[in-house]
Structure 1
Amino acid sequence: MRNTELAKLGTLVGEWATTMSDAWFLEPKGLETPGHTTIDWLGESLLFVRTRLGQDADESQMSLVIGRSDANDAFVVLYQDDRGVCREFAMTFEDGHWTMTREDPDFHQRFIADIEKDRIRGHWEASEDEGQTWRKDFDLTFDRTIDPV
């Protein structure tokens, strides 16, 4: 039986053309990096998100597992990427808005996105002063390519 709160995330399930843009760390300015994201159910109470950006030697991969703590009435996200980075995020998903946040000792980070039927527009931000000021790391746009079965 699918977890009722996680069932609300069903709109994310599918295949998505993904574009990273406006990244402060990439040259030349304005460079767009294409990619692909797959979001699938993992059992009845988890979502598995796999993203690949770039190609060949410049390709990067990251994965998320989205779950829920019913006792805490909260979504939880575990993140890992091909650099060996592992992080935990708190998550909200309501009224067409998706956020993931972490407030860890190394730095604070957040993902903020607006969700449409076949498009997600979001951006990642970071703060090295415990959330006093934020810098945008990059934009991410997801365009649905295949509806879930």
Structure 2
Amino acid sequence: MRNTELARLDGLVGQWTTAMSDAWFLEPKGTEVPGTTTIEWLGESFVLVRTRFSGDEHEHSEMTMVLGRSDPNDAYVALYHDDRGVCREFAMTYDGERWTLSREDPDFHQRWIADVGLDLIRGRWEASEDAGVTWRKDYDLTFERRADA
């Protein structure tokens, strides 16, 4: 039986065309890296988010997240992994219109802030190396629902 709070994530499920843009680490300025994202149910208790970027020479070509929930803590959680071998845990919120991920770890703080529509998700990843006092944008990430999926 699907958890009621997890069922709220059903609007994210689908096939998406993804674009990474306005990244401080991409040259030349204005570079956009295309990709695809699949968001699907993993059983009744998790949502699997798999993103693959298809741009040439770009380091972070695959990212995977598993979204779940801690009922006792009344909170969503996300586990992240990418092809660099990076593993991270994020606190998550989702109200159907705003999706956030955040972590406050010893290496640095990081957050994802996105506006969610029926067929469009516009978000940005930010990082802070001074425990959240100041933030810099890492990159924008846009998801457009694929009509052919």
Structure 1 length-normalised TM: 0.95
> Offset of 1:45 from its aligned partner?
1.0
The count of corresponding residues between Structure 1 and Structure 2 is: 148
Q: How does 1:1-149 map to 2 (within 5 A)?
A: 1-55=1-55, 58=58, 60-146=61-147
> Offset of 1:54 from its aligned partner?
2.4
1: CA distance between counterparts of 2:28 and 2:54?
A: 15
Is the Cα contact below 8 Å between 1:14 and 1:147 reproduced in 2?
no
* Residue segments in structure 2 that go unaligned for 5+ positions in a row: none
- Per-residue Cα deviation, 1:63-90 (whole angstroms, up to 9, x for no partner): 0000000000000000000000000000
Is the Cα contact below 8 Å between 2:8 and 2:96 reproduced in 1?
no
2: CA distance between counterparts of 1:124 and 1:56?
A: 21
Runs of 4+ in 1 over 3 A off after TM superposition: 55-59
Secondary structure at 1:41 match in 2: strand
Identical residues among aligned pairs (%): 69
1: CA distance between counterparts of 2:21 and 2:32?
A: 5
1: CA distance between counterparts of 2:136 and 2:114?
A: 16
- Per-residue Cα deviation, 1:87-116 (whole angstroms, up to 9, x for no partner): 000000015000000000000000000001
* Residue segments in structure 1 that go unaligned for 5+ positions in a row: none
- Stretch of structure 1 that moved more, 139-148 or 102-111: 139-148
